[in-house]
Amino acid sequence: MGDRLRSATFDDLPSHLILEILTSGARLGGSDLVCLELTNTTFRGTHGLVPHKLRSLVDFAAFQLSGSHPIYVSLSYRAQEELLARCSGNWKKVLRFLQSVHQSSDIVETSSGNMQIRSGRYHTLLIKDSKIYSCGSSLCGVLGHGPETTNCVAFTPIKFPYPVNVTHVSASHNHAAFVAKSGEVFTCGDNSSFCCGHSDTNRPIFKPRLVEALKNVPCKQVAAGVSFTVFLSTEGQIYTCGTSGHGQLGHGDTLDRPTPKLVEPVGPIGSVVQISAGPSYTLAVTNDGGVYSFGSGSNFCLGHGEQHNELRPRVIQSFRRNGIHVVRVSAGDEHVVALDSNGFVYTWGKGYCGALGHGDEIDKTTPALLTSLKNHLAVQVCASKRKTFVLMDSGCLYGFGWMAFGSLGFPDRDVSDKVLKPSMLYSLKDHHICQVSTGLYHSVVVTNRGRIFGFGDNERAQLGHDELRGCLHPTEILVEE
């Protein structure tokens, strides 16, 4: 009788059932698998169920989950082998890298909810569990709270025309764009240049409005430039609208477009997986690891070794020639930073203030490997006005470039200093950072526990504090639900 009433333990489950649970697509991360392996002997054994080259059930689960990840699937066999070697043959580390790269440009899963943070010029946007918040200066309605709101000193919920789950957001100088789980796109802000995708330009759009022209085009990402917007459909196609004086819309001319129009591919361009918009240029990463650029060629931001404008997407040949598979890019005001499938970082463009991280202020006309970070596995790159951040798989954050009101996060440096080489932000060493975003003079990060820290200028409450004028040391930002 006593045996029948004995509580079953995890060890009583059949090993093949445990293995099926681990590999069935459950939302497990590399860190989760490490914890399972450390806390229960069942996970540390093979039980005769996994190939000899894998040491445990957890290793096999990491191998299976990595093999089905969209980034890993897009890699060539050689690139897959190189990534595994970079991770010292550790499939749990491979999985953590893949998931971190994917989440850093999308929604990050934290212990207190799913989040995404994005910095605009003088404001900040936050997604928390599908709800969207904003704080800072509401120039031309960019905060989405209506014409009566000129400033928000704390994160304030944005109301949409009807209930939506927001999955992606982009912030620019004077407009914002939001992608819903349904694939619908909403915009708000100054539409005088048609950047919001609505044909009427008489007055700012003070609250999020559905982009009707994309009603039948489900989208997954959006990138807001200065007076133009780039939309990425779930099918991997690019649509653009707004100002095109430098060809940043990619349609082969310099004509403005009042509503989103499909960018026709030139040659065999693969499906686009990520987009980024600078002030007047656009970058697109394809599933085969190519990077295409178009728009203003000033400061060598297009990566072609010259400063000519490109009216249509043009592949950056240096990556292709060297067999480099790029997975993410970030377009800054005057420079660009890219991340490849091995966790290596490349920069190019204007080197002023050390924004390229090579120890000098020399411009780079084509992508150059950041050798000082070769021993680190990077998972996110972020560029803005003369500054750059690189996030590592360990949760450590590195910054370089112009301090600008303390927006690099080094409390021991002067607010106008130049940091010429990547330096770790020891002010955040006690936290595992999982996403970073930077605006003109302020920066924000999200930790794996769902805490938000901001540093830099707070003159317009873009860091979500009412009384502070600036934050030289990373200061926590609280969100009232």
- Residue 6 domain-assigned (yes or no): no
Tokens of 93: 């580390």
Q: What is the pTM of this model?
A: 0.92
Rounded Cα–Cα distance for residues 262 and 213 (Å): 11
Q: Where do we find the tokens 């014409």? A: 147
Q: Give the residue among 445, 456, 446, 447 at the shortest CA–CA distance from 409.
A: 456
Q: What pLDDT score does 325 carry?
A: 97
Tokens of 136: 């800072």
Same domain, 57 and 112: no
Which helix (H) or strand (E) segment holds residue 299: the answer is none
Rounded Cα–Cα distance for residues 331 and 451 (Å): 26
- Residue 393 domain-assigned (yes or no): yes
pLDDT digits (tens, 9 = 90+) for 389-426: 999 999 999 999 999 999 999 999 998 899 999 999 99
Same domain, 97 and 224: no
Q: What pLDDT score does 13 carry?
A: 43
Task: Indicate the number of domains in the chain.
Answer: 2
Domain termination residue (choose one: 56, 76, 104): 104
Q: What is the DSSP code (8-state) at residue 79?
A: H
Same domain, 26 and 130: no
Same domain, 51 and 89: yes
Domain termination residue (choose one: 62, 77, 104): 104
- Residue 462 domain-assigned (yes or no): yes
The answer, yes or no, to whether residue 89 has pLDDT greater than 80, is yes
Same domain, 185 and 60: no
The answer, yes or no, to whether residue 9 has pLDDT greater than 80, is no
- Residue 5 domain-assigned (yes or no): no
Q: Domain of 210? A: 108-477
- Residue 113 domain-assigned (yes or no): yes
* 309 φ, ψ (degrees, to nearest 5): -70, 145
**351 close to 364: Cβ distance less than 8 angstroms:** yes
What mean pLDDT comes out for the span 356-384? 97
Same domain, 245 and 181: yes
Residues 6+ apart with CB under 8 A from 3: none
Alpha-carbon 204 to chain mean position: 27
Angle at 207 between CA 141 and CA 157, to 5 degrees: 95
Task: Write out the DSSP string of 128-188.
Answer: ETTEEEEEEE-GGGTTSS-TT-SEEEEEEEPPPSS---EEEEEE-SSEEEEEETTS-EEEE
What mean pLDDT comes out for the span 294-320? 97
Tokens of 413: 């440096």
Q: What pLDDT score does 40 carry?
A: 52
Domain termination residue (choose one: 73, 104, 135): 104
pLDDT digits (tens, 9 = 90+) for 125-134: 999 998 999 9
Same domain, 81 and 127: no
Same domain, 57 and 136: no
- Residue 4 domain-assigned (yes or no): no
Residues β-bridged to residue 340: 326
Same domain, 296 and 404: yes
Residues 6+ apart with CB under 8 A from 6: none
Same domain, 183 and 317: yes
